[in-house]
Structure 1
Amino acid sequence: MKKLILSMAAVAGLFAASASYAQVPASAPSGTTGLCKDGSFYSGATKKGACKGHKGVQTWYGAASGAAAASAPAAAPAMAPAAASSAKAAPSKAPAAASTAQAAPGGGPGQVWVNTSTKVYHCPGDKYYGKTKHGSYMSEADAKSKGYRADAGKACQ
């Protein structure tokens, strides 16, 4: 009887542990595997290098599931709001699974998207341009004068 109770407790513990993993929020882009501390999403295959430049990983959801994982590049942050990618996993201009997120209205020639929570600005064509949770459009000169820095230290062309 004692063995039965212990084995049932072990099974219940395993079930509870598997159910306690963090669930991907509904607002996250398809294929999201992590949430960065700055509120951006990450969708790379591994935790190593995840959220680099975004203050680190806040919550790890684990491997992407289903077809989204199979069709997504190794690091496809969108950071629907914005995602961080591992510099080793994919070039910064790689299409992201979350790149389907709608860009904020506005922007245009000569405008950069300033992420007000990370103090980083993104150039037109960048996967985060107009897509981070907190931000606004302004000229690159205005962004620099207000203390914002270019994403990955690369000024717009």
Structure 2
Amino acid sequence: MAPELIFETNMQLRRRMADVLDQTSAADLNRIPVGYRNNIWWNIVHMVVTQQLLCYNLSGLPMTVEKDIVKRYSKGSVPAGVPSQAETDKVRAYLLSSVAQLKSDYEQGIFKTYNAYTTSANVTLKSIEDALLFNLFHEGIHYGVVLSLQKAVGITRA
């Protein structure tokens, strides 16, 4: 496995999500189209939260995202209200900083233990390396959902 490529790819995905945040109106970010149960905003924050849960929480380490955000955007949650500008700014910063922090922490070897976890995709994660790889897969799924949501709310990509 090549962790460097995983981190590089993850950062590219997150840059695309940061661009979506920067280029999409608050109304479009928070619109839930007919046939969907969430919105662009929820998917973006869910990506940040899931990375924290899979990598830090399951390694027994403190997460770098507030517990309130984790609770509101974890698996099984649904959008509840419109985020404040402060929350939007915080999440925008987390998009890139959480990947950079994860890479730094991984390189420093802070991930010593891992509590095995079977995902909803029926993949059992047994190590931080498994979590890094699965997280990239997970974020790719949500990137696809964001693209679908953009189309559903009438956003055309150049």
- Length-normalised TM-score, structure 2: 0.21
Bigger-Rg structure (1/2): 1
**More strand per residue: 1 or 2?**
1
Higher relative contact order (CA 8 A, sep 6+): 2
TM-score by length of 1: 0.21
